[in-house]
Amino acid sequence: MNKKRILLTGGFGYIGSTFIERYFNKYSITALDVNFFGYPKKLKSKTTKTIIKDIRDISIADLKDIDIVIHMSELSNDPMGEIEPSITEDINVEGTKKLIDLCNKSNISKFIYMSSCSVYGFNEDFANENSKLNPLTEYAKSKVKNEEYILNSSKDYEVKILRNATAFGFSNNHRLDLVVNDLVHSAIKNNEIKVLSDGSPIRPIVHIVDICRIIRYLIETDSSKKLLLNVGHNLMNYSIKDIAMAISNITNIDNLSFGKLDGDKRSYKVDFSYLEKSLPGFVFKYDLEKGIDELLRNYSAFDEQIQSRRIEQLNHLVENQILNNEFRFV
């Protein structure tokens, strides 16, 4: 049988490169990426084709002979989204609109979009897919706009929108600007678990391997329905303090400190029951403890690089005039 042909935007990134590593044998994957954070060498031979391009410049030719689009190429967290709101609007929102408008003229059968649980912003009760949204940052606002545009404007192909919890887990293009990854890393490098806030905010978390397995599940099952799904597990709504304690227990590092309640108002608990109903038979592989073990195993041979913290790399590229002030390569 012919392999499904996938266009994976943002394919060089933290989650994209994990998807390629897992499924390069199963699918024919074209990775389109502007290459802000590098592309792991070992993945080059595993990608059917790479297109180094800004999503803002995507053209209909990039969708030729593509069956499924998985869209991940955005500024991917709150601090990056705040650098300059107009760039977030340009890349995340206008880039996504352009992609959808082109998909409407193409022959694709499915579009999978990476949204985020950060659209819930702050809540005290568990949020489900029908709860009122409360996006507190430019990043979260861009996700809300994109969800609406995709749901209202997409034509003739299946749409799957994943509101992912905060990801964790080791990747070939690793990120240290994610809470679990960062705390485990600082624990073993500095023998200290230092939480900058008071640890009270709640963050649901999900392992990148499980995100990729959910994407695969959605690729392999067909339904005409437009699906919008919280992606995570009901047992994985943690406070930052819970996460720090779990790391302390596993590493035996009891040098644990907390700061003050800071200005960051984001704290959300999420109900993931709809995922269980929508993906019958799907079983998560990773809980927090298993994910911490996996990080510890990989960190012994891992050297932090500037791009491991995405915002530092973007600032570096702008300061050295490699990127201009619209995040275009000079």
Which chain residues interact with ligand NAD by CB under 6 A? 10, 12-16, 33-37, 54-56, 72-76, 91, 95, 114, 116, 164, 166-167, 173, 175, 178, 310
Residue number with CB closer to ligand NAD (52 or 261): 52
* Shortest distance in whole angstroms from residue 203 CB to ligand NAD: 10
Smaller CB distance to ligand NAD: residue 104 or 172? 172
Q: Which residue is nearest to ligand NAD (CB)?
A: 13
Cβ distance to ligand NAD smaller for residue 253 or 311: 311
- Closest to ligand NAD by CB, 46 vs 56, is 56
CA distance 256 to 19: 34
Report the nearest approach of ligand NAD to the CB of residue 18 (Å): 8
Q: How far is the CB of 17 from ligand NAD (least distance, A)?
A: 8
Residue 73 vs 154, nearer CB to ligand NAD: 73
Nearest distance from C-beta of residue 77 to ligand NAD, angstroms: 7
Distance separating alpha carbons of residues 100 and 106, to the nearest angstrom: 10
* Contact yes or no for 323/314 (Cβ under 8 A): yes
Choice between 78 and 192, CB closer to ligand NAD = 78
Q: Among 242, 233, 181, which residue's Cα sits nearest to residue 211?
A: 233
Q: Are 184 and 296 in contact (CB under 8 A)?
A: yes
Q: How far is the CB of 99 from ligand NAD (least distance, A)?
A: 10
User: Cβ 242 to ligand NAD, closest distance in Å?
Assistant: 17
